[in-house]
Amino acid sequence: MSAVVQKYGGTSLADADRIQSVARRVAARRAEGDQLVVVVSAMGDSTDDLIALAYRIAKRPQEREMDVLLSTGEIVSSTLLTMALHEMGYDAVSLTGAQAGIGTDRRYGRARIHSVNPDRIHRELESGRVVIVAGFQGITEEMDVTTLGRGGSNITAIALAAALEAACENYTDVDGVYTADPRIEPNARKLTGISYEEMLELSSSGVRVLQSRSVELASVYNVPILVASSFTEAPGTLIHGGVNMEQRNKVAGIAHDSDVAKITVRGVPDRPGIAATLFEPLAEAGISVDTIVQNASAEGATDLTFTVARADLDKAMELAGPIAKEINARDIVGDRTRAKVSLIGAGMQSAPGYAARMFRTLYEGGINIEMISTSEIRITCIIDEDRVTDAVRALHKAFELEQAE
């Protein structure tokens, strides 16, 4: 008998009807004979409601208390799903993160799992129960409740799958990983499989299916994750550690992200240490800088351009402005209306010509490339946000992604 860890997101558990619908799916799977551990997120917007409540009480709620407060959301949904299974005649038991043996460090709000003690889960599984685990939470050695941060329930599911040597299935409101966003490219095709590496690049390039941190964890413990819809029976996408040796298409998919703002420091004197002077204060302020491009120049001055999330633009300009003056740059300009489009595929590293084809495709579409950045398996271009749809469609066609693998 093999064990399976399933995870259901908050949208899939938003109300009593949806919880019952998830219970029916869990029951059907249980009826097939697998041992089942189900990790749940909090119902719908309930976490946001708790956060709002805390901010009505305190300007800056303490993180320890916030974690205890937020952990109740997942506990509530875990008990309700368990009750729904009982109602259908299935034996089931809910476990909190602590009861499920999820041990973490003390970094409240963004705790890291340092150990999983699956004894209790094993006992419950052996007595024939479906085990419903409250996701997103753990407990420190001092028995204090912690939460795992954004995507925490996915982390719980992957950690449990690793500890139980079980398969991991992630049910959410998207039904898999596509060659491009289907809302933009109607010909986008759902992938049956994708490697951790490629998924990591997709996640950090704007594809919101699974957070990078979850993919990393799955990759470290080599836990394959099936991403599928909790609302349909359509087959999902398996994120795995293998490589498709004879993959027809070297490009796995196209990612885009419109949450991009660009800052250009113009006329920067060409001397060492300038980049550190500029970026250290941004890092200290918690502003994540994405693509950085520096244009060499013949006249002893260069342009330094980088991108940040749009929400960080004002703060970044505030911090970088005085520094630009200090280092005798000519001026500094911010632009909120950028976007990035990325071509991702593990096969690209062994085959030349992908970058050239990407640039030509965009050129032929009349789309101006403002910045370029690449990794071994990714090519990213920064473009005008108004041209994102055109860029995604043109690239999808050029790389023949609508055709089956």
What letter would DSSP give residue 247?
-
Q: How far, in Å, CA of 398 to CA of 388, rounded?
A: 15
Exposure pattern of 30-68 as b/e (b: 16+ CB <10 Å)?
A: beeebbbbbbbbbbbebbeebbeebeeeeeeeebeebbb
* Interaction between residue 51 and a second copy (CB under 8 A): no
Q: Which stretch binds a second copy (CB under 8 A): 4-12, 88-96, 212-220, 386-394?
A: 88-96
Q: Which is nearer to a second copy, 61 or 321 (CB)?
A: 61
Number of residues that bind a second copy (CB under 8 A): 38
- Of the chain, the end-to-end C-alpha distance in Å amounts to 32
Q: Which stretch binds a second copy (CB under 8 A): 12-20, 183-191, 252-260, 340-348?
A: 12-20
CB of 228 to a second copy, least distance (A): 24
**Site residues (CB under 8 A) for a second copy, limited to 152-171:** none
Q: Which is nearer to a second copy, 93 or 341 (CB)?
A: 93
* Interaction between residue 25 and a second copy (CB under 8 A): no
Q: Rounded to the nearest 10 degrees, what angle do helices 46-57 and 63-87 cross at?
A: 150
Q: How far, in Å, CA of 22 to CA of 233, rounded?
A: 12
Q: How far, in Å, CA of 98 to CA of 349, rounded?
A: 43
* Interaction between residue 31 and a second copy (CB under 8 A): no
* Interaction between residue 87 and a second copy (CB under 8 A): yes
Q: Which is nearer to a second copy, 74 or 198 (CB)?
A: 74
Residue whose token pair is 């490697």 = 195
Q: Which is nearer to a second copy, 57 or 296 (CB)?
A: 57
What the block records as the tokens of 250 is 């070297």
Q: Which is nearer to a second copy, 16 or 351 (CB)?
A: 16
Q: Which helix (H) or strand (E) holds 219?
A: helix 212-220
Q: Of these, 21, 27, 51, 99, which contacts a second copy (CB under 8 A)?
A: 99
Q: Which residues contact 185 (CB under 8 A, 6 or more apart)?
A: 179, 254, 392, 393, 396
Q: How far, in Å, CA of 216 to CA of 393, rounded?
A: 29
Q: Of these, 38, 40, 75, 199, which contacts a second copy (CB under 8 A)?
A: 75
Binding site for a second copy (CB under 8 A): 16, 19-20, 50, 53-54, 56-59, 61-62, 64-66, 68-69, 71-72, 75-76, 78-80, 82-84, 86-87, 93-94, 96, 98-99, 120, 143-145
